[in-house]
Structure 1
Amino acid sequence: MRYAQDVDVLASHSTLLAIPAFVPALAVVGVILGIAMRDRRAERREAEQSARDAVGTDARDREEN
């Protein structure tokens, strides 16, 4: 396909038709990444809390003995 010398083609017809396929796919990827990040943060908080509880329990056991 040849264009005139002074014509700038910004997007071809096939590119414009592909946009409706990519936008929902990117949205789905964004949602999945958001959920994964939220779950990892929650898991990290739970691990820190259980570590604090374990340290607190050990300290109380030592005080009782």
Structure 2
Amino acid sequence: MTDPSSVVYLADHTLLLALPALIPAVIVAAVVIGIAVRDRRRGDDDEETVASSDDGEGV
């Protein structure tokens, strides 16, 4: 068996390799969540203006 003092641990670069994929994914998710939150805060005002401007002519 190998003597514990002669064991060499190799570096694990998993996080280093994953960061280029994770950072853009986090940015895209933050933008989508930000747009969804902003849209939810507006409420149903947009639907009322569309419904009131449609007077039914041209059907």
Q: TM-score range by the shorter chain?
A: 0.5 to 0.7
Which residue in 1 is equivalent to 2:15? Answer: 15
Task: State TM-score, norm by structure 2.
Answer: 0.54
Q: How far, CA to CA, are the matches of 1:36 and 1:15 in structure 2? A: 30
Shift >6 Å, 4+ stretches: none
Offset of residue 14 of structure 1: 2.2
Structure with the bigger percentage of helix: 1
Q: CA deviation at 1:16?
A: 0.3
The one-character-per-residue Cα deviations of 1:12-65 (angstroms, maximum 9, x if unpaired) are 212201100000000000000000000000016x3xxx7xxxxxxxxxxxxxxx
Q: CA RMSD in A?
A: 2.4
Q: Please, what TM-score do these two structures have when normalized by structure 1?
A: 0.49
| Aligned sequence identity (%) | 47
Task: Report the secondary structure of 2:29's partner residue.
Answer: helix
**What SS does structure 1 have at the residue aligned with 2:25?**
helix
Total equivalences in the alignment: 39
Q: Which runs of 5+ in 2 are unaligned?
A: 1-7, 49-59
Mapping 1:1-65, distance limit 5 Å: 3=9, 12-43=12-43, 46=45
CA distance in 1, matches of 2:15, 2:30: 22
